[in-house]
Amino acid sequence: MKVIPSIAQWRAEYSQLKKEDFQCKIGFVPTMGYLHDGHLSLVKEARKECDVVVMSIFVNPLQFGENEDFDRYPRDLERDKALAREHGVDYLFVPDVNEMYPQHPLTSVSVSTITEVMCGASRPGHFTGVATVVTKLFNIIQPDYAYFGLKDAQQVAVIQQMVKDLNIPVTIKPCPIVREKDGLAMSSRNVYLSEEERKQALYLYKSLREAKALVEGGERNTDRIKTRMENMLRSQPLIEIDYIDIRSFPELKSLESLHGLKGQVIVAVAVKIGRTRLIDNVIIDMEGGN
Distance of CA 220 to the CA centre of its chain: 28
The whole-angstrom separation of Cα 91 and Cα 127 is: 26
Is 63 annotated among the ligand-binding residues? yes
Is 90 annotated among the ligand-binding residues? no
Is 149 annotated among the ligand-binding residues? yes
| Cβ neighbours of 136 (radius 10 Å) | 20
Is 152 annotated among the ligand-binding residues? yes
Print burial letters for 181-211: b (CB count within 10 Å at least 16), e (below 16): eeebbbbbbbebbeeebbebbebbbbbbebb
Is 150 annotated among the ligand-binding residues? yes
**Amino acid at the residue 40:** L
Is 32 annotated among the ligand-binding residues? yes
Is 229 annotated among the ligand-binding residues? no
Is 260 annotated among the ligand-binding residues? no
Is 212 annotated among the ligand-binding residues? no
CA dihedral (23, 49, 250, 207) in degrees, to 10, reads -160
Is 120 annotated among the ligand-binding residues? no
The catalytically annotated residue of 39, 87, 104, 126 is 39
CA within 13 Å, CB half, 285: 2
For residue 259, indicate whether it is catalytic. Answer: no
- Adjacency order of strands within the sheet including 239-249: 239-249, 263-273, 276-286
Q: Which residues are catalytic?
A: 39
The annotation places the binding site for (R)-pantoate at: 63, 155
The annotation places the binding site for ATP at: 32-39, 149-152, 178, 186-189
